[in-house]
Amino acid sequence: MLVDPDDGNEERLAASEFDLLKIFAENPNRPLMRDWLLEVTAHREAEAFDRAIDLRITQPRGKVEIDPTHPEAIRTVRGVGYMLIPPKSDPPVPTPLRWRHPHLYMLMCDIIN
């Protein structure tokens, strides 16, 4: 479980969600291949037209995105896989990324370091 230090909201994470978020936090702004994500989280090789990782991505997206139908944090990279865009505050960006729980990324970074 992760707790947002600003408001005390608790976010429960399944082991598979934690594994995915940990991998994304270790590789920010880097496109990660769908097949590789499936291999390291499900411990099996992807098969042709395997959509299992796409289903697994929807769960953590629902926990980090304000609007999971229009993802800003875990983005789809067409033909490749997915990429985590960390929240930015310094320097300010014209359209700041909005995370449902902005401290989730920082908490994940603390856990892996």
Q: What is the pLDDT of residue 59?
A: 87
More confident residue, 18 or 100: 18
Predicted confidence at residue 48, as pLDDT, reads 53
- Rg from Cα positions in the chain: 14
pLDDT digits 0-9 by tens, 3-23: 666 677 777 888 888 888 888
pLDDT of residue 46: 55
How does pLDDT run across 27-84, given as a tens digit for each residue? 888 999 988 888 888 766 656 556 778 888 998 888 888 888 888 889 999 989 999 8
88-97: average pLDDT: 48
**All domains of the chain in start order, with CATH:** 2-112 (1.10.10.10)
pLDDT of the residue at 75: 92
All residues at 6 or more sequence positions from 49 whose CB lies less than 8 Å from its CB, including other chains: none
pTM value?
Answer: 0.71
> d(Cα 84, Cα 20) in Å, to the nearest integer?
10
Q: Kindly state the tokens that stand for 97.
A: 């990324």
Give the separation between CA 4 and CA 79, rounded to whole angstroms: 34
